[in-house]
Amino acid sequence: MAERRTISRIEPDAMALRALAHPVRMRMLGLLRIEGPATASGLAERLGLNSGATSYHLRQLARHGFIVEDEERGNARDRWWKSAHESTVFHSDNSDDDALDAGIAFAEAALQNQIGQMKAALAQYGSLSAEWRDASTLSDLIIPLTATDAKALIERLNRVIADAMEQAPKLGGPYPPDVEPFTVMLHAFPRPSEEGNEQ
C-alpha cells in the first residue's frame, strides 16, 4: 500500500446527476477514471461509437465537471480528456421531487452498469489466478436492524473502504506489479417484500 492520500470526489447536483445517468457517459467516465486519459477517437473505438457521438458525450461530462481536458497531452487536433475526480458521491436528496427523481434515475443507470460489471467478472472468474479468485466474493447477507443501526453500519463500511482507497495507488495507473483495479460494490437496502418483486 502507498502512503495515505486524499481521494478527490464530486457531489453532483440534480442536473449533473441526470447528465451522468446516460449509460454511455457512465462507461466513459469509468474508463477515464480507471484506465487514465484518452482521446474521443480512442474512447469511440473502445465503446463502438462514432467520434461525433463520443465528442458530444465528453462535452456533456465536461460541462458538469466530471472530466477536464488533459493539457499535458495532445494538441489542437488531438484533445485528451481525463477524469476530474476519482469518485462520485451521491446522497439522496429528499428536499424536492426533482432532486429525488434525478437521484433515482442516476441510481438506476449505475445499477445497470454494475450488473454488467458483475456479469463480466463472473464470466472471467475461471480464468483468474487462484489468488484473485480467493480475493473475490459475491455475498448476500440479511441482518435485522433499525434504520439508525443500518445507517451506522453503512457509515462503518464506507470508512473501511475509504481507508483502503486512501492507502492504494491513484486510479488511472500505472500500477505497481501485482496491483489491479479491484471493484467493491456496496448495495444496502431494506429487503423488498415478495409482493413488490412480482411482475
- The dihedral of CA 153, 20, 39, 117: what is its sign? positive
Q: Is the pLDDT of residue 79 over 60?
A: yes
What is the pLDDT averaged over residues 154-168? 95
Q: Which residue has the higher pLDDT, 54 or 98?
A: 54
Query: Which range has the worst mean pLDDT, 52-61, 85-94, 179-188?
Result: 85-94
Span 162-190, pLDDT tens digits: 999 999 998 888 889 999 999 999 999 99
Q: What is the pLDDT of residue 182?
A: 96
- pLDDT over 90 percentage in the chain: 74
Q: Is the pLDDT of residue 199 over 70?
A: no
Q: Is the pLDDT of residue 19 over 90?
A: yes
How many other CB atoms are there within 10 angstroms of residue 33's CB atom?
21
Give the CA-trace dihedral at 38, 40, 41, 46, to 10 degrees: 70
Share the mean pLDDT of the chain: 90
Q: What is the pLDDT of residue 145?
A: 97
CATH 1.10.10.10 applies to domain 9-197: yes
36: left (phi over 0), alpha (psi -120 to 50) or beta: left
Q: Give the Cα separation of 123 and 195 in Å (integer).
A: 31
Work out the pLDDT band at 1, boundaries 50, 70, 90.
very low
Q: Is the pLDDT of residue 2 over 60?
A: no
Q: Which residues contact 101 (CB under 8 A, 6 or more apart)?
A: 14
pTM recorded for the entire structure = 0.82
Domain ranges of the chain: 9-197
Query: Which range has the worst mean pLDDT, 1-5, 103-107, 171-175?
Result: 1-5
Q: What is the pLDDT of residue 196?
A: 54
Q: Give the Cα separation of 71 and 109 in Å (integer).
A: 30
Burial of 142 (0-12, 13-18, 19+ CB in 10 A): exposed
Span 129-140, pLDDT tens digits: 999 999 999 999
Work out the pLDDT band at 51, boundaries 50, 70, 90.
confident
